[in-house]
Copies of this chain bind each other. A is one copy, B any other.
Amino acid sequence: MKVLTKKTDYAIRALVMLGAQKGSYVSAKAIASEQDMPYPFLRGVLQEMIRHDLIVSKEGVQGGFMLAKDPDEIGVRQLIEIFQGTVQISECMFRKQICANRSRCVLRHEIMRIEQVVHHEFEQITIGKLLRKLHAGENLRPA
């Protein structure tokens, strides 16, 4: 059971890096080498984020990517939705016995509640929050 796939992982890290260099364009190449990600794969991730208006780009020499919105308005939840799709519980269980009326199914109800909790929690974690932690140097000290 994997919570974050590579795409989401790379997206978060790329966004944090863009946030750290606010105002200037950062190239995919720079991100890839700095964060140790496969370059062409990262390219795809960045393009996907452009489509979702999270970042903007500039072509040509000295081009690159830049955040398109406030880091506090980019939550990990949204990234999960973009790169991993909406959460699917499973198909409807107990078709014959319990599911005659899905809206009253207890199992389904419980699982959807859990889903809500998870969504809410992931929504709290924003790029802005991560950036502040990074600047505060909370984890920059050697182990």
Contacts and interface: CB of A to CB of B under 8 A. Distances in A.
B1 A143 contact: no
> How many identical subunits does the complex contain?
2
A68 interface: no
Size category of the A interface is: 35 or more
Given A4-B111, A110-B121, 16 more contacts: A2-B90, A3-B87, A3-B88, A3-B90, A5-B90, A13-B93, A34-B96, A35-B94, A94-B134, A101-B141, A105-B139, A106-B129, A106-B130, A110-B124, A110-B125, A111-B125
Interface of A: 1-6, 8-9, 12-13, 16, 34-36, 80, 84-91, 93-102, 104-107, 110-111, 113-115, 117-118, 121-122, 124-125, 129-130, 133-134, 138-143
